[in-house]
Chains A and B, each alone.
Chain A
Amino acid sequence: MSFETVCQHILAPTELNSDKLESVLASMYQHELDYADLFFQSSRHESWVLEDGIVKEGSFNIEKGVGVRAISGEKTGFAYSDQLSMAALQQAANAARGIAGAGQNGKIKILTPKPAPLIYPELDPLACLEKEAKISLLKQVDAYARSLDPAVTQVIVSMAAVYEEMLVAASDGTFASDIRPLIRFNCSVLAEKNGRRERGSSGGGGRHSMAYFTEQVEGQQRAFGYAKEAVRQALVNLEAIDAPAGAMPVVLGAGWPGVLLHEAVGHGLEGDFNRKGASAFSGRVGEKVASEHCTIVDDGTLANRRGSVTVDDEGTPGQYTVLIENGILKGYMQDKLNARLMGVAPTGNGRRESYAHLPMPRMTNTYMLAGQYEHDELIASVKKGIYAPNFGGGQVDITSGKFVFSASEAYLIEDGKVTAPIKGATLIGNGPEAMSKVSMVANNLALDAGVGVCGKDGQSVPVGVGQPSLKLDEMTIGGTN
């Protein structure tokens, strides 16, 4: 159904249709190309921000355009237009095909739609809740956050919804579409006590209807749960003591701390870096790159997840890809270009920020499978170390393998017990080395709440991360004490 809907919305208002798209692709193939594609995108974005108890900002953004790509060997030509017309499309196509010289070397395949199974609903989240109801929810969450503790002095609540349609037509016959709803809710609070101020924030979302935020979870609407969690974190941080400095055992909590895998392993296993031999994991398929407790997958097929894709931005269906199995490197994440050049199949990881950006191998939802231990056994095994259940962002140098991530909530572990909260600190390590130090993996696999954004080469895409609680025998903690 989605395919007809998207064609109707994107192509019908213009003079474009599948025959015309084929003719544009065929005209590009008058140059010596290996591949060409046309990527159409149309999106609407609505957001609301409540601050100081009032709805301060609201915005509505429309983005629409087409990107045209031509590939010859390792070379890519790329042009795009925010006009959806035959003339604009042909102009972009002529520019992109200039990457290769003239000379017919093959025929394009007939465009053939192949429906992929839906993994999220084809709905418009902007339309599924009246503006009044959205505003009312923001106000209720604000009042609730303020009611939780007198130390709460500032509350910012925000809500965003995106409705995106994409359509891709390629010289290999791919003709695919996707309807991608994406919603997000955030609550950030400032708490003040005894002259000290700290922030806490929490949020979530995914490819859902807005009703997701008002569903009952643990006895309250989900959005209220974000407020409760934000306040809890701020209050914990108000009590935090200086973090220690140096190398020690670290227990990472389940869920969002999966940022570890995203940075330590994920980026280094993207096909482009490995084709170029630029990654610390290059040429190491079949080798042991992590402890035997580690099985790590990238999974674009999880229902309603923020990082999921019915099809990726090249029309390849989202997939479940085992990256590391019991510590052995199994394979990389691929888009079509890098897959072809490395002689493997694409893995549904060809993603792009928008029509105005080139696709690259990107993660979807990356997580570690559950192990045997109870969470408490991990804590009990540490004499002196750190327990970190919440993180901010991270970064990696994929060539040296060095990565960092910053704890936003952390505690000391002393004699097998979680004790005092410590101030946020950066943890640093080397990807393959850190993964070899994973000595215990718990049975509590959880995915993050749905707020992840991954940046690469200036392009942002939504992603998911997850893991069970796990113990690293040693990591460097960047505290001051």
Chain B
Amino acid sequence: MDSSRLIAQEQAQLKQAVADAVSMATKLGADQAEVAVSRQTGISVNTRMTEVENIEFNHDGALGISVYVDGRKGNSSTSDISQESIARAVQAAIEIAKHTSQDPFSGLADPELLERAPQDLDLFHPASLDPDEGLSIAKACEEIALNADSRIVNSDGASYSSHLGIKVYGNSHDYVQSYLTSRHSLSCVLIAQQGDEMQRDYSYTMARNSADLWQPEQVAKEAIERSVARLGARKIDTCSCPVLFSADSAVSLFGHLVNAISGGSLYRQSSFLLERLNTQVFPPWFNISERPHILGGLASSPYDAEGVKTQDRDIILNGDLNSYLLTSYSGRKLGMPTTGHAGGIHNWFVNSNHGDLQDMLRQLGTGLYVTELMGQGVNAVSGDYSRGAAGFWVENGEIAFPVHEVTIASNLKDMFMGIQAVGSDVDLRSSLRTGSVLIDNMKVAGS
């Protein structure tokens, strides 16, 4: 069967279902209504020790409805998108809205902000959904991984997945828009052993277009390198030292920034960056920009979850916090316009001011190079930061030995201001693109 044609057919049905649900809601007394569906179809397959382990056929996605009756909001959702179920869900949302309170800030995005002619962002590249093809890719990856290094003794499997998505959003400003997406990925988790010690690590590749995925060899190679490099890990003595976050672990640092400057955290007074708009939060050379319309980008979208047109934006400009991340609701609460961030951020780019990893290790000099973080120990209100970490002890710019079972602690305000360098070793797999990040000083707790 031609999956593209089936998807197109389903897209037309879903657009109709969304439009019907919106008009049903307004007929039943809603002043405003909005309806969203995000539906995925695809396969997830995996092998373990080169044998087939699982084949899953996925087809998911609920339809969600919000109605506004006299300033009161009601939500509902249904996984079954038959006409009767949608009718019941609309009624349920209206029933809920009879019991919520009037909220002067609630309601749809202002109509003039809606994207009514979205650009095609090249997000849809369907690939074969034949599980056998996925299995042969996963198997190839594992075969290479298990035969390349005698210390790789076990595998937690290789997975391949391929999913096609339909996003539809509509509201009672006479608005229905939709676009198609695709996402393909390959990952592999390996276990390395030396004596009694076992260490696991992984690698992955993900792309809108399966042609952009790494070859299985590259995934296997990275998974081997990462697992084997951990062997012989030890604790270090408690100390204060500079910390270099690898590119993939540095992504989480800016994830904490996202949380701190999101409208919901700000109007709830639950952020360590309250009242900091247009003030210095990072060193003066530091910049983060957002580019929602990158063709084929993993976090590209022409409009946000409220239909608001997305646009290029400087988030951090010369070290200053240049923009909050607002939705219509949080914007109204704060007396500011929405920034098109309903549903989250789009592609972020953290500028680099240094060279590759070797250069960054030299910049680190002697200190901790962190490649993995564990746990949730971040206090969003105060910025206090304390997380489990693993990585390598570095002496004079050279990796000395692997480290595990330590924590790193500081406060995010100090960590952001203490960024000394951002490497050019950008992890291109993430929609939040950064190189490795060097922070001047943190407390490392060990033995």
- With a cutoff of 8 Å between Cβ atoms, the chain B residues found around residue A400 in the complex are 197-200, 230, 233, 404
A404 touches B95 (CB 8 A): no
Q: A80-B59, A392-B376, A426-B377 are in contact. Are A60 and B75 (CB under 8 A)?
A: yes
Among B95, B97, B374, chain A packs the most CB atoms within 10 A around the CB of B374
Q: Which of B269, B388, B409 contacts A190 (CB 8 A)?
A: B269
Instruction: Confirm or deny: A75 has a beta carbon within 8 angstroms of a beta carbon on chain B.
Output: yes
B405 to chain A, nearest CB (A): 6
Within 8 A of B (CB), among A121-163: 131-132, 135, 153-154, 156
| Bound: A156/B268 CA distance, A | 10
Say which residue of B106, B156, B381 sits within 8 Å of A198 (CB atoms).
B381
Contacts of A80 in B (CB 8 A): 57, 59
The answer on a CB contact under 8 Å between A277 and B154 is yes
**Residues of B close to A58: CB separation below 8 A:** 73-75, 96-97, 99-100
For the complex, is A309 an interface residue (Cβ under 8 Å from B)? no
Asked if B252 lies at the interface with its beta carbon under 8 angstroms from chain A, I say no
Cα distance A481–B55 in the bound complex, in angstroms: 50
Inter-chain contact A478/B53, CB cutoff 8 Å: no
Judging by beta carbons under 8 Å apart, are B409 and A197 in contact?
no
Are B55 and A78 in touch, CB under 8 angstroms?
Answer: yes
Q: Whole-angstrom distance from the CB of B307 to the nearest CB of chain A?
A: 20
> B386 contacts which chain A residues (CB < 8 A)?
243, 406, 424-426, 478-480
A392 to B376, CA, bound (A): 8
Shortest CB-to-CB span from B303 to chain A, Å, is 23
User: Which residues of B are found within 8 Å of A414, using beta-carbon distances?
Assistant: none
Q: Chain A contacts of B200 at CB under 8 A?
A: 278, 397, 399-400
Cα distance, A74 to B74, chains bound together (Å): 46
Given contacts A276-B156, A404-B374, contact A246 B446 (CB under 8 A): yes
Query: Count the A-B residue pairs with Cβ separation under 8 angstroms: how many?
Result: 246
Take A78-B57, A402-B388, A426-B386 as given contacts and tell me if A63 and B374 are in contact as well, using a CB distance cutoff of 8 Å: no
- A residues in contact with B80, CB < 8 Å: 62, 64-65, 82-83
CB-CB nearest in chain A for B154:
A277
Chain B residue at minimum C-beta to C-beta distance from A131 = B99
B270 touches A198 (CB 8 A): no
Query: Is there a chain A Cβ closer than 8 Å to B426's Cβ?
Result: no
Q: How far does the alpha carbon of A277 sit from the alpha carbon of B76 in the complex, in Å?
A: 44
Q: A58: nearest residue on chain B (CB-CB)?
A: B96
Residue B276 lies at the interface, judged by CB distance under 8 Å to chain A = no
Q: Mark A53-91, 1 if CB is under 8 A from B, else 0.
A: 011111111111100000000111111111100000000
For residue B46, which residue of chain A has the nearest CB? Answer: A76
- Do the beta carbons of A405 and B269 come within 8 Å of each other? no
Given contacts A58-B99, A479-B386, contact A395 B374 (CB under 8 A): yes
Are the C-beta atoms of B409 and A245 separated by less than 8 Å? yes
* B407 proximal to A (CB < 8 A): yes
Measured between beta carbons, the chain B residues less than 8 angstroms from A278 are: 154, 156, 191, 198, 200
Pairwise interchain contact A245-B445, C-beta atoms closer than 8 A: yes
User: Would you list which residues of chain B between 173 and 219 have a CB under 8 Å from chain A?
Assistant: 191, 197-200
Docked CA distance A411–B419 (Å)? 31
Given A190-B381, A278-B191, A399-B198, does the pair A406, B55 have CB atoms closer than 8 Å?
no
Once bound together, how far apart are the Cα atoms of A61 and B78, in whole Å?
6
Instruction: Please tell me if A393 contacts chain B, counting CB pairs below 8 Å.
Output: yes
Partner of B55, one of A57, A74, A76: A76
Q: Is A356 an interface residue (CB 8 A)?
A: yes
Residues of A within 8 A of B93 (CB): 60
Chain B residue nearest to A477 (CB atoms) is: B445
B48 within 8 A of A: yes
- Assess the B75–A59 pair: CB atoms within 8 A: yes
Which residues on the A side are within 8 Å of B377 (C-beta)?
392, 404, 406, 424-426, 478
The distance from the CB of A240 to the nearest CB of chain B, in whole angstroms, is 9
Instruction: Judge if A95 is at the interface, Cβ distance under 8 Å.
Output: yes
Stretch at the interface among B84-92, B241-249, B279-287, B349-357: B84-92
What residues on B are CB-neighbors of A92 within 8 Å? 57
Count B interface residues, CB 8 Å. 76
Query: Which residues in B have their C-beta under 8 angstroms from that of A405?
Result: 375
Contacts of A78 in B (CB 8 A): 54-57
Contacts of B198 in A (CB 8 A): 278, 280, 399-400
Answer yes or no: A349 CB below 8 A from chain B CBs. Answer: no
**In the complex, what's the smallest C-beta–C-beta distance from A198 to chain B, in angstroms?**
6
Which chain B residues in 247-295 approach chain A with CB under 8 Å?
268-270
Check A476–B407 contact: CB distance below 8 A.
Answer: yes
Within residues 246 to 296 of chain A, which ones have a CB less than 8 A from any CB in chain B? 246-247, 276-278, 280
Query: How many whole Å from B402's CB to the nearest CB in chain A?
Result: 11
Bound form: Cα–Cα A77–B235 in Å: 42
Looking at the assembled complex, report how far the CB atom of A390 sits from the nearest CB atom of chain B, in whole angstroms. 13
**B145 located at the interface, meaning its Cβ lies under 8 Å from any Cβ of chain A in the complex:** no
| Cα-based distance from A406 to B384 in the complex (angstroms) | 12
In the complex, are the beta carbons of B62 and A56 less than 8 A apart? no
- Whether A98 pairs with B89 at a CB distance below 8 angstroms is no
B312 at the interface (CB under 8 A from A): no
Contact bitstring A387-420, B, C-beta under 8 A = 1, else 0: 0000011110101101111100000000000000
- CB within 8 A of B57: which of A79, A403, A428? A79
**Chain A positions 101-139 with a Cβ under 8 Å from a chain B Cβ:** 131-132, 135
Q: Check if B51 is an interface residue, CB within 8 A of chain A.
A: yes
Assuming the contacts A58-B74, A397-B374, A402-B388, asked whether A424 and B379 have C-beta atoms less than 8 A apart, the reply is yes
* Given known A397-B200, A478-B387, contact A81–B409 (CB-CB < 8 A): no
A99 within 8 A of B: yes
Encode contact with A along B328-360: 1 for CB under 8 Å, 0 otherwise: 000000000000000000000000000000000
Kindly identify, within residues 372 to 395 of chain B, every residue whose CB is under 8 Å from any CB belonging to chain A: 374-377, 379, 381-382, 384, 386-388, 390
A residues near B404, Cβ cutoff 8 Å: 400, 402
Is the C-beta of A375 less than 8 angstroms from some C-beta in chain B?
no
Q: Which of B154, B382, B390 is close to A276, meaning CB atoms less than 8 Å apart? A: B154
With A and B bound together, what is the CA distance between A198 and B154 in angstroms?
45
Q: Does A358 contact B (CB under 8 A)?
A: yes
Task: Report the separation of the CA atoms of residues A95 and B388 in the bound assembly, to the nearest whole angstrom.
Answer: 42
Closest to A134 in B: B99
Hey, which chain A residues are within 8 Å of B75, CB to CB?
A: 57-60
Residue in A56, A75, A83 whose CB lies within 8 Å of B73: A56
Give every chain B residue within 8 A of A154 (Cβ-Cβ): 268-270
Cβ of B388: which chain A residues have Cβ within 8 Å of it?
395, 402, 404, 426, 428, 478
- Contact yes or no, B407 A478, CB < 8 A: yes
Q: Which residue of A lies closest to B271 (CB)?
A: A197
The distance in angstroms between the C-alpha atoms of A424 and B387, with both chains bound, is: 11
Q: Are A61's CB and B77's CB within 8 A?
A: yes
- By Cβ-Cβ distance, the 6 closest A-B pairs, closest first, are A478-B407, A54-B101, A404-B388, A404-B375, A59-B75, A426-B377
Please name 9 pairs of A and B residues whose Cβ atoms are closer than 8 Å in the assembled complex, sorted by A: A59-B77, A75-B51, A131-B99, A154-B270, A199-B270, A277-B191, A278-B156, A424-B377, A481-B443
User: Residues of B at under 8 Å CB distance from A?
Assistant: 48, 51-60, 62, 73-81, 85, 88-89, 92-93, 95-103, 106, 131, 154, 156, 191, 197-200, 230, 233, 235, 238, 268-270, 374-377, 379, 381-382, 384, 386-388, 390, 404-411, 443-447
**Extra inter-chain contacts (12) besides given A63-B62, A99-B52, A277-B191, CB under 8 Å:** A57-B75, A58-B74, A74-B48, A78-B54, A98-B55, A245-B443, A278-B198, A400-B200, A423-B379, A425-B407, A426-B409, A481-B443
